[in-house]
Chain A
């Protein structure tokens, strides 16, 4: 198996698409699967048409994300492409109308991915990050495909404009959709981590509806936060919340993170992703150093499962960039050092990350998911 990775920030979408496809294919040879990341400034049709012309009938999977990660660091605008060639088997699907019935969309995606008879491997799921209950999408996907697959991916975004995102396959592009692929006959190993630790006593999510937390411990959510963080204003919360997400532990002591966004007039709080009702969790805290160290550990964990790494796919939460600023590039360097600096790397800044601590995929926030691919051991 061979991989090719390319990035372009040429201002013309068609030109950028053509450029990345030529470069990536020249490294990998004729691809079987192409993974395309774009940003909001690039017209999806123009990029997709240009890429499809150059990849010779390869299956394609992609989305519009909050920024593209290359070996050079984060690119706020541009087009990135990873092409994979060799004897791998793959199937893709584009499920539209994700928000109408997220669980069913996930199931339908699973059904479509199983149609070609692939029974194990890696599922890459790239849903719209704004619209639907993505935990439900994942549950539907997992319940149809089962535990014999590994799941990675992330939610599409548009550089925090919260307007519209796009998902691609070789069939076309859509919004409010799930683009997904299953790939077999390559070894993929993943690592996941966030670096957040709990502070103070646990809290109960007493009133939750989807992404809005109305009450924590029986009082308005913002009041509960203020009790822990001090007398902060709603405006200050946008920054404080970034440093203090909620974390919900599993029985092994691993925390799943939920990222708060804004406070409403009724003192409820909007989150990036659905918060489970009546869950018990903590307000979290972290130091930048911990975040970088955890990302490095995720890289080490991922690379340890592949004999000869050929490529790295990275799904990193956009809020980590906002939080870390220039130091985010240190995180990328740490991951590169962990997986091997010469292994081609392409990543996306996502609105929610798909990965698993155990075997079952969960939707995470403020988290880094590293996937390392390579040949299956003889």
Chain B
């Protein structure tokens, strides 16, 4: 058993030596810094940030990220290469005698999002550099994946917006009045056919209820149909003369089509009003 006297005798005359291992401090600092890669906002900025870090932290002579699979594989980040082509990167990866200096990591193998991360430094890689470069490459890959997903989401949103714009433009040119009512029975949207029909701009209608925009004789016909569409969830249809102005009556075909949400409730009603005065006149 080691007694206190023995411990005292072993420690006698020794001073505690302060130990400051720059390697450990450097590893901790690098680890901390690599986590900040997530801050890059675009693929181009990420490439700049990644190159800066890989040069400053690892002293990388060569660094490349090749994205895609097979012939579609292209370099998206390149540092230390003269032509920045995949052929040059492949040639460097295959250069004999450099294996101990190089690290090649593949992510998402076999998919369209496959990335190959290549790194070469001047001195042979030790376990610390390997460990840290693995962390770096994974952080980089995570960020690239997030950026790609964000890019795809934006692309889908762009397509949706384009499609919505196209649809709304088409509605504007349809020669029948189309309106959308909300549950408060207010008009959310109305196309410009109403202007042709009544001579008043669409802004006179948007946000208003029927009794605010039509003469009582008209709203007395339309409002019950709209209410019924909301209440029953069933389409309503009526062909009727409408006294739009004094001494001017037009025959119209009114349709109210409820839009039923995922919860089964009628959230909106689409209203279509088609003038059929001419048709009525020639009917026997």
CB distance from A120 to the nearest CB of B (A): 12
How many Å lie between the Cα of A153 and that of B132 in the bound state?
Answer: 30
Q: Is the CB of A250 within 8 A of B56?
A: yes
Contact of A357 with B26 at beta-carbon distance under 8 Å, contacts A278-B36, A278-B39 already known: no
With a 10 A CB-CB cut-off, give which of B27, B28, B36 has the most chain A CB atoms.
Answer: B36
CB distance from B232 to the nearest CB of A (A): 60
CB distance from B55 to the nearest CB of A (A): 5
B29 at the interface (CB under 8 A from A): yes
- Chain A residues whose C-beta falls within 8 Å of the C-beta of B22 in the assembled complex: 198, 249, 253
Contact of A251 with B132 at beta-carbon distance under 8 Å, contacts A202-B28, A358-B122 already known: yes
- Chain A residues whose C-beta falls within 8 Å of the C-beta of B79 in the assembled complex: 139, 142-143
A60 at the interface (CB under 8 A from B): no
- Chain B residues whose C-beta falls within 8 Å of the C-beta of A250 in the assembled complex: 26, 30, 56-59
B25 at the interface (CB under 8 A from A): yes
Which of the 9-residue segments A35-43, A144-152, A220-228, A370-378 touches chain B?
A144-152
Q: Is the CB of B121 within 8 A of A202?
A: no
Contact of A276 with B25 at beta-carbon distance under 8 Å, contacts A251-B30, A359-B61 already known: no
B191 at the interface (CB under 8 A from A): no
How many Å lie between the Cα of A135 and that of B48 in the bound state?
Answer: 11
How many Å lie between the Cα of A280 and that of B27 in the bound state?
Answer: 11
A186 at the interface (CB under 8 A from B): no
Contact of A139 with B61 at beta-carbon distance under 8 Å, contacts A253-B22, A359-B122 already known: no
Q: Is the CB of B25 within 8 A of A249?
A: yes
- Chain B residues whose C-beta falls within 8 Å of the C-beta of A245 in the assembled complex: none
How many Å lie between the Cα of A143 and that of B60 in the bound state?
Answer: 12
CB distance from A362 to the nearest CB of B (A): 6
A50 at the interface (CB under 8 A from B): no
How many Å lie between the Cα of A279 and that of B22 in the bound state?
Answer: 17
Contact of A139 with B51 at beta-carbon distance under 8 Å, contacts A249-B25, A360-B60 already known: yes
**CB contacts between A and B, total, < 8 Å:** 99
- Chain A residues whose C-beta falls within 8 Å of the C-beta of B8 in the assembled complex: none
- Chain A residues whose C-beta falls within 8 Å of the C-beta of B49 in the assembled complex: 277
How many Å lie between the Cα of A279 and that of B60 in the bound state?
Answer: 17
- Chain A residues whose C-beta falls within 8 Å of the C-beta of B84 in the assembled complex: 143
Contact of A251 with B28 at beta-carbon distance under 8 Å, contacts A143-B81, A277-B49, A278-B39 already known: no
- Chain B residues whose C-beta falls within 8 Å of the C-beta of A237 in the assembled complex: none
- Chain A residues whose C-beta falls within 8 Å of the C-beta of B36 in the assembled complex: 204, 277-278
How many Å lie between the Cα of A144 and that of B39 in the bound state?
Answer: 27
Q: Is the CB of B58 within 8 A of A280?
A: no
- Chain B residues whose C-beta falls within 8 Å of the C-beta of A276 in the assembled complex: 52-53, 56
- Chain B residues whose C-beta falls within 8 Å of the C-beta of A143 in the assembled complex: 78-81, 84
B128 at the interface (CB under 8 A from A): yes
How many Å lie between the Cα of A147 and that of B22 in the bound state?
Answer: 27
CB distance from A361 to the nearest CB of B (A): 9
Contact of A198 with B61 at beta-carbon distance under 8 Å, contacts A251-B129, A358-B121 already known: no
- Chain B residues whose C-beta falls within 8 Å of the C-beta of A147 in the assembled complex: 61-62, 80
A272-314 vs B, CB cutoff 8 Å, 1 = contact: the mask equals 0000111111100000000000000000000000000000000
B247 at the interface (CB under 8 A from A): no
A256 at the interface (CB under 8 A from B): yes
- Chain B residues whose C-beta falls within 8 Å of the C-beta of A145 in the assembled complex: 82
A212-255 vs B, CB cutoff 8 Å, 1 = contact: the mask equals 00000000000000000000000000000000000011111110
B32 at the interface (CB under 8 A from A): yes
- Chain B residues whose C-beta falls within 8 Å of the C-beta of A139 in the assembled complex: 51-52, 55, 79
Contact of A146 with B25 at beta-carbon distance under 8 Å, contacts A139-B52, A248-B56, A250-B58 already known: no
Q: Is the CB of B26 within 8 A of A253?
A: yes
Q: Is the CB of A356 within 8 A of B59?
A: yes
- Chain B residues whose C-beta falls within 8 Å of the C-beta of A202 in the assembled complex: 25, 28-29, 32
Closest chain B residue, CB of each to CB of A103? B48
How many Å lie between the Cα of A146 and that of B89 in the bound state?
Answer: 12
Closest chain A residue, CB of each to CB of B21? A253
How many Å lie between the Cα of A252 and that of B61 in the bound state?
Answer: 15
- Chain A residues whose C-beta falls within 8 Å of the C-beta of B51 in the assembled complex: 139
Q: Is the CB of A251 within 8 A of B128?
A: yes
Contact of A360 with B55 at beta-carbon distance under 8 Å, contacts A142-B80, A280-B33 already known: yes
Contact of A198 with B59 at beta-carbon distance under 8 Å, contacts A135-B52, A277-B49, A358-B121 already known: no
- Chain B residues whose C-beta falls within 8 Å of the C-beta of A282 in the assembled complex: 25, 29
Q: Which of B30-54 contact A (CB under 8 A)?
A: 30, 32-33, 36, 39, 49, 51-53
- Chain B residues whose C-beta falls within 8 Å of the C-beta of A362 in the assembled complex: 55-56
Closest chain A residue, CB of each to CB of B131? A251
How many Å lie between the Cα of A282 and that of B32 in the bound state?
Answer: 13
- Chain A residues whose C-beta falls within 8 Å of the C-beta of B161 in the assembled complex: none
How many Å lie between the Cα of A252 and that of B39 in the bound state?
Answer: 25
How many Å lie between the Cα of A64 and that of B29 in the bound state?
Answer: 37
B60-83 vs A, CB cutoff 8 Å, 1 = contact: the mask equals 111000000000000000111110
Q: Is the CB of B57 within 8 A of A251?
A: yes
How many Å lie between the Cα of A365 and that of B2 in the bound state?
Answer: 53
How many Å lie between the Cα of A256 and that of B122 in the bound state?
Answer: 18
Q: List 22 A-B contacts (CB under 8 A).
A: A135-B52, A142-B55, A142-B80, A143-B79, A248-B29, A249-B22, A251-B26, A251-B27, A251-B57, A254-B26, A276-B56, A277-B49, A278-B39, A280-B29, A280-B32, A356-B59, A357-B59, A358-B61, A359-B59, A359-B121, A359-B122, A360-B60
Write the residues of chain B forming the contact surface with A, with a CB cutoff of 8 angstroms: 22-23, 25-30, 32-33, 36, 39, 49, 51-53, 55-62, 78-82, 84, 121-123, 128-129, 132
Beyond the given A146-B82, A280-B33, please list 17 additional residue pairs across the A-B interface where CB-CB is below 8 A: A142-B80, A202-B25, A204-B32, A249-B29, A250-B26, A250-B57, A251-B58, A253-B23, A256-B56, A277-B39, A279-B56, A280-B32, A281-B29, A358-B61, A359-B59, A359-B121, A359-B122
Closest 3 CB pairs of A and B: A358-B59, A253-B22, A278-B36
